[in-house]
Chain A
């Protein structure tokens, strides 16, 4: 499927088939989760916990994604990146991050998020080097890792830079480790 048809498919799904929630409720809920975690754990542990939470969300969210879009298997990792950014993010967060920085072997790429609904109105606390250790939106990394694992792609997803930390852009990096051939469901060639 071409890039343009992905865009029209995702616009159609976002308009008609997705239930919507008030963005402030969403932002405040996620913010209170992170704030509470920061009170309970150190920043490094908070990152791991957020990633784990995201992983569990991703395992389940992927079925919803297929139920709503009816898409089939992507033909290449490039195709996967297009689907993630144009349909996945659009469907669930109504943002379309840009795909850039492809590595030479085509197994790594970056997603640049222009605006992140999770971080509306958020400022990291200035004490305790939150700015050096905490990745606020780390749940997104977990979600992507979980979803990709359910379609037999073993990936590492991590943040490279974050506007909340003072960097100019918010950038996530996806690295494909391997294609899990043994777990492909029988019946697919």
Chain B
């Protein structure tokens, strides 16, 4: 069962427009630090898209008729001992950065750090599987974003999201996801 730690939403220019922590145990950093963090992510994502060798870019990503992730050659995910981070991008350039826990209930050994760097395929498969698991969460988050943020007439595009309904619905969604 994956636990969602936090969600960051970045606008097209890379500025942070939404940030929320869902786990009370996380240490708080200042707002400025959040902005810096998101700026770094945006930059690294763009740089990665230029560095990625053409052979590593899949021609079609799992053609799921639910959400098309336009993040083909940019930074897709980061895995550490403590958390996993996934970056999704919509066709309009909005990035959703999801930070989740390491999946404890997994049949394959999750020691990605110490795994053989040549064995791309196995870690690749597990990364893809984890992306698939977060896919369903992301689809729902994107639907909530398009409903409660976009349809709020007082919300200006690319600005920080200050919509109470979006917060509420998001918290409900994450809660329902964390409960087995």
Contacts and interface: CB of A to CB of B under 8 A. Distances in A.
B45 interface: yes
Interface stretch (A23-31, A62-70, A127-135, A154-162): A62-70
Contact of B146 (A67, A73, A188, A189): A67
B65 interface: yes
A67 B139 CA distance: 7
The A interface, classified by DSSP as helix, strand, loop or mixed, is helix
Contacts of A67: 67, 139, 142-143, 145-147
Given A64-B146, A187-B46, 10 more contacts: A63-B145, A63-B150, A64-B150, A66-B90, A66-B92, A66-B142, A70-B64, A185-B12, A187-B71, A187-B72
Contact of A185 (B66, B70, B139): B70
A57 to B, nearest CB: 10
B49 interface: yes
Interface residue range, chain A: 20 to 34
B157 interface: yes
B91 A73 contact: yes
Interface in A64-82: 64, 66-73
A60 B65 contact: no
29 contacts: A59-B157, A60-B150, A63-B142, A63-B145, A64-B151, A66-B90, A66-B91, A67-B67, A67-B139, A70-B65, A71-B65, A71-B68, A72-B70, A73-B70, A150-B91, A151-B91, A185-B12, A185-B70, A185-B95, A187-B45, A187-B48, A187-B72, A187-B73, A187-B74, A187-B89, A188-B73, A188-B89, A189-B72, A189-B73
Task: With a 10 A CB-CB cut-off, give which of A59, A64, A67, A189 has the most chain B CB atoms.
Answer: A67
The B interface, classified by DSSP as helix, strand, loop or mixed, is loop
A59 B63 CA distance: 25
A60 B90 contact: no
Nearest to B68: A72
Interface of A: 9, 59-64, 66-73, 150-151, 183, 185-189
Task: With a 10 A CB-CB cut-off, give which of B68, B72, B146, B157 has the most chain A CB atoms.
Answer: B146
